[in-house]
Amino acid sequence: MPRQKIHQRKHDHAPAGPAPERVRLDKWLWAARFFKTRALAQEAIEGGKVHYNGERSKPGRLVQEGATIEVTQDPCRRTLVVRGLDERRGPASRARQLYEETPESIAAREALAEQRRFLAASAPAPAHRPSKKDRRRIVRFTGKGE
């Protein structure tokens, strides 16, 4: 049997053992890569930004497969169905296997992204910084700085 190099073993993302039957909500959100840290996940849950099966919950709530989770992150609201459980954070490809986003949620997210694109196109950024003369005109026009 050939010897495996240390750096190859370190990046091996095979699961350590059988998947757990239940996982804490904050750990699952962190493992599914919705939040960078568990502390941010806990803060969002306690702030009412995450609903488990339509109800507010606590970070220690145990997640089960088939449950519905609604995550609100700024303008976007995602509705997810839990398809797998994992306590460990892994690569994004494995994290995507832990949930399935509902078609309504995907459509709403795409509509919001399109709306943002239109807003960005309708208000183009200036080509350069305003000169001192331009800044004085802006101050005079807006009435600020008086």
**Residue 134 located in a structural domain:** no
- What confidence tens digit (pLDDT) does each residue in 48-105 have? 999 999 999 999 999 999 999 999 998 889 999 999 999 999 999 999 999 999 999 9
Q: What share of the chain is helix, strand, coil (3-state, %, to 5)?
A: 40, 15, 40
CA distance 32 to 118: 30
Output the six-digit token pair for 101: 């986003």
CA 125 to centroid of chain Cα atoms: 27
- Alpha helices (runs of H) in 67-102, residue ranges in sequence order: 92-95
Q: Is residue 62, in this structure, part of any structural domain at all? A: yes
Does 135 reside within a domain?
Answer: no
Q: Say if 1 falls within a structural domain.
A: no
Domain that holds residue 27: 19-124
Has residue 80 been placed in a domain? yes
Taking the C-alpha atoms of residue 2 and residue 141, their distance in angstroms, rounded to an integer, is: 75
The answer to whether residue 96 is domain-embedded is yes
- Number of domains the chain is built from: 1
- Using CA atoms, how far residue 124 sits from 131, 138, 139, 142, in Å, is 18, 18, 21, 20
Q: Evaluate if residue 39 carries a pLDDT over 60.
A: yes
Residue 43 resides in a domain: yes
Sequence-distant (≥ 6) Cβ neighbours of residue 83 within 8 angstroms: 65, 97, 98, 99, 100
68 in Cβ contact with 80 (< 8 Å): yes
Is residue 15 pLDDT above 80, yes or no?
no
62 has which bridge partners?
24
Lowest mean pLDDT among 7-11, 97-101, 117-121: 7-11
- Say what percent of the chain tops pLDDT 70: 86
Return d(Cα 106, Cα 22) in angstroms, integer: 26
pTM of structure: 0.72
List the CATH number of the domain containing 42.
3.10.290.10
What is the C-alpha separation between 28 and 130, in angstroms, rounded?
Answer: 48
Q: Is residue 132 part of a domain?
A: no
